[in-house]
C-alpha cells in the first residue's frame, strides 16, 4: 500500500464486525489511512464478549484497545492511532434518512445489522467528499451488497496467502539421478546435498523421491547434519504407509528433531490416521496425547442448541477422531497388549479427544498435540495454540485448505495455509502434502470424478 501524501489520498476504511473478530488489532494494519467503526459493530461485539472461543477473546481485546485509545476523548471525533505513521479512528453513526441519501434497509427491503453497517459506510462517504471510502469485511455477501450500492468493498488481506498454489508440498521428485548415487544412498544411508541438487539449495526437512533409470529411493534433508538421508518405510501402531507421501508423513511425525508438523491433503489421504498412529507409537515419549479439533457450529448455531449434556453435544464433532482410534485398535486382537494399551490410555486420560476451546489458556508440556481440521482455524488461533507449547511438546496440524467450513475463512486466509507459508524454512518444522487417496477405490472415485 503506497503512502498517501495528501489528505485526499488518505483513504477511509470502514471495518465490519467480521474483521474485528478475525483480528482485534486490525485497526493498526492500514498504515496512514483512517479507520471508521460503525456503531452497529460495537453493538455486535457486545454479544461476543462472553465465552472462551477466540472470537470472544478478540471482541474483549478490541473493546479494551478502543477504550485505551479513547481515554477522555469522544469517539465521534477523529482519534489518532498510536504512531506517526498511522491514521485516525472514529465511530460512525448510522446514516440519516435525509433526502437523496441511500438507505440499505430500503434498498434490500429489510432492516438488519449488515444494512446498518452499509448505511454507516455510505454516511462516511457522503461526509468526506473527495476521499475514497472502502468497506472492509470478511463477509463476501456484505461486500457484494456494498458494491451493488456503488460502495467500494474489500476483504481484509493481512495474513492472507497470495497464491495457494505456490505453497510447498514438502517433497519433490528428481529424475535422471545417477543409479550409482542411488545405490550409494541405499548402502551408506547418507549423501551430500550437492550430489543431487547441484547448485540448488535444500530446504530444511524437505523430502525427495530420487529416481534413476534402474532404481529409486526415498530421502530426507537433515538440516542439522547437512546431509540427505535415506527414508525407510516403517509401520506405526500397525498402520503401514501405502505410498511415498505417507512414508514421508510418518517420518516427519516420528522425527524427534521436528517439533511442528503440518499435513495437508484431501479426504481419505490418511492425515489423521497416520498422525494418531505415530503418536500412539511414541506414547512412552510423552505424558499425554491430545487430539483436538475446532468445533464448527452446525447451521451456524452454537453447540448449546444440541440436546443432551456436554459429552452428547460434542460427540457429533469428535466421532471422526474416535473412528480413527478404533481403526488403529482393530489392527490388533482384543487379547493383544497393544489393543489393551489403547483402552487403558483412554480410561486413564493418557489419550484425550477434546474440542480446542478446552485447550486454550493451558500450558502444554510433554504433550503430543494433534490438531485436526486445522483449516477451520484463523492464523491468530494457530499462533495461540503454538505459543502454548512447553518443553518436549510436539504439535501436528492436519487439514485440507480447500475444505473450509468456517464462515469468513477461505483457502488463502485460513490458519493452516498461513502456517505452511510462514514457517516453511524453519529447522523445527516439516510439511508434507498427501495427494493420493487411500481410503478406498470408491472414495477415490468420488474425489476424482464427482
237-449 CATH: 3.40.50.300
Contacts 24+ apart (CB under 8 A), 317-320: 317/293, 317/355, 318/293, 318/353, 318/354, 318/355, 320/272, 320/372
The pLDDT tens digits for 352-368 are: 887 787 676 778 899 99
How is residue 6 written as a grid cell? 495528501
Kindly provide the b/e burial profile for residues 191-207, where b requires at least 16 CB atoms within 10 angstroms of the residue's own CB. bebeebbeeeebbbbbb
Domain ranges for the chain = 12-155, 237-449
Which band of pLDDT confidence, cut at 50, 70 and 90, is reported for residue 316? Answer: low
**pTM for this predicted structure:** 0.83
| Strands of the sheet with 88-92, listed across from one edge | 79-80, 88-92, 34-38, 12-15, 133-136, 152-154
Q: Poorest-confidence range of 115-124, 274-283, 304-313, 335-344?
A: 304-313
The pLDDT tens digits for 249-261 are: 999 999 999 999 9
Do the beta carbons of residue 254 and residue 396 sit within 8 Å?
A: no
Q: How far apart, in whole angstroms, are the C-alpha atoms of residue 13 and residue 36?
A: 6
C-alpha triplet 367, 242, 216: angle, nearest 5°: 110
Domains 12-155 and 237-449 share a fold: yes
Q: Is the pLDDT of residue 121 over 50?
A: yes
Q: Which of 420, 397, 366, 388 is nearest to 275 (CA)?
A: 397
How is residue 118 written as a grid cell? 452499509
Residue 98: alpha-carbon gap to chain centroid: 45
Three-class DSSP category at 389: strand
Q: Is the pLDDT of residue 306 over 70?
A: no
Torsion sign over Cα 17, 23, 24, 25: negative
Q: Which of 218, 229, 220, 213 is nearest to 178 (CA)?
A: 213
Q: What is the mean pLDDT of the chain?
A: 87
Do the beta carbons of residue 196 and residue 177 sit within 8 Å?
A: yes
Higher pLDDT, 304 or 254: 254
Expressed in percent and rounded to 5, the helix, strand and coil fractions of the chain are 40, 20, 40
φ/ψ of residue 219, rounded to 5: -145, 165
Q: How far is CA 19 from CA 128, 136, 294, 386, 390, in A?
A: 23, 7, 20, 22, 31
The pLDDT tens digits for 223-256 are: 999 999 999 999 999 999 999 999 999 999 999 9
Q: How far is CA 246 from CA 13, 115, 161, in A?
A: 46, 49, 26
12-155 CATH: 3.40.50.1010
Which band of pLDDT confidence, cut at 50, 70 and 90, is reported for residue 317? Answer: low
φ/ψ of residue 426, rounded to 5: -90, 135
Q: How far apart, in whole angstroms, are the C-alpha atoms of residue 146 and residue 303?
A: 32
Q: Label the pairing between strands 207-211 and 152-154.
A: unpaired
Amino acid at each position: 500500500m503506497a503512502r498517501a501524501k495528501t489528505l485526499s489520498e488518505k483513504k477511509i476504511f470502514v471495518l465490519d464486525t467480521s474483521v474485528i473478530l478475525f483480528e482485534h488489532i486490525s485497526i493498526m494494519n492500514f498504515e496512514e489511512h483512517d479507520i471508521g467503526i460503525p456503531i452497529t459493530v460495537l453493538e455486535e461485539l457486545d454479544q461476543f464478549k462472553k465465552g472462551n472461543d477466540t472470537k470472544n477473546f478478540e471482541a474483549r481485546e478490541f473493546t479494551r484497545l478502543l477504550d485505551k485509545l479513547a481515554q477522555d476523548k469522544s469517539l465521534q471525533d477523529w482519534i489518532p492511532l498510536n504512531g506517526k505513521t498511522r491514521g485516525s479512528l472514529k465511530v460512525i453513526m448510522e446514516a440519516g434518512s435525509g433526502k437523496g441519501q441511500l438507505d440499505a434497509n430500503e434498498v434490500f427491503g429489510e432492516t438488519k445489522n449488515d444494512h446498518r453497517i452499509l448505511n454507516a459506510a455510505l454516511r462516511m462517504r457522503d461526509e468526506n467528499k473527495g476521499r475514497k471510502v472502502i468497506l472492509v469485511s470478511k463477509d463476501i455477501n456484505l461486500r457484494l451488497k456494498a458494491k451493488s450500492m456503488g460502495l467500494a468493498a474489500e476483504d481484509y488481506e493481512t495474513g492472507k496467502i497470495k497464491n495457494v498454489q505456490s505453497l510447498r508440498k514438502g517433497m519433490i521428485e528428481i529424475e535422471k539421478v545417477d543409479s550409482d548415487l542411488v545405490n550409494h544412498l541405499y548402502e551408506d544411508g547418507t549423501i551430500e546435498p550437492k550430489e543431487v541438487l547441484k547448485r540448488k539449495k535444500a530446504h530444511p526437512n524437505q523430502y525427495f523421491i530420487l529416481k534413476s533409470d534402474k532404481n529409486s529411493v526415498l530421502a530426507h534433508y537433515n538440516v542439522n547434519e547437512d546431509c540427505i538421508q535415506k527414508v525407510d518405510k516403517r509401520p506405526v501402531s500397525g498402520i503401514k504407509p501405502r505410498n511415498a507421501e505417507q512414508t514421508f508423513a510418518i517420518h516427519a511425525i516420528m522425527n524427534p528433531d521436528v517439533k511442528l508438523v503440518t499435513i495437508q491433503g484431501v479426504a481419505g489421504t490418511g492425515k489423521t490416521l497416520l498422525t494418531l498412529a505415530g503418536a500412539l507409537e511414541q506414547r512412552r515419549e510423552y505424558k499425554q496425547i491430545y487430539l483436538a479439533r475446532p468445533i464448527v457450529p452446525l447451521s451456524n448455531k452454537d453447540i448449546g442448541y444440541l440436546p443432551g449434556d456436554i459429552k452428547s453435544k460434542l460427540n457429533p464433532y469428535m466421532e471422526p477422531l474416535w473412528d480413527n482410534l478404533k481403526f488403529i485398535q482393530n489392527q490388533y486382537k482384543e487379547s493383544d497388549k497393544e489393543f489393551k494399551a489403547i483402552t487403558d490410555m483412554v480410561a486413564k486420560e493418557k489419550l484425550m479427544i477434546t474440542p480446542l476451546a478446552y485447550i486454550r489458556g493451558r500450558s502444554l508440556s510433554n504433550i503430543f498435540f494433534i490438531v485436526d481440521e486445522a483449516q477451520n482455524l484463523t492464523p491468530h488461533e494457530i499462533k495461540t495454540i503454538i505459543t502454548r507449547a512447553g518443553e518436549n511438546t510436539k504439535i501436528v496440524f492436519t487439514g485440507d485448505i480447500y475444505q473450509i467450513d468456517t464462515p469468513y475463512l477461505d483457502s488463502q486466509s485460513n490458519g493452516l495455509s498461513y502456517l505452511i507459508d510462514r514457517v516453511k524454512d524453519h529447522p523445527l518444522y516439516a510439511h508434507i502434502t498427501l495427494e493420493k487417496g487411500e481410503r478406498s477405490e470408491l472414495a477415490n472415485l468420488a474425489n476424482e470424478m464427482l
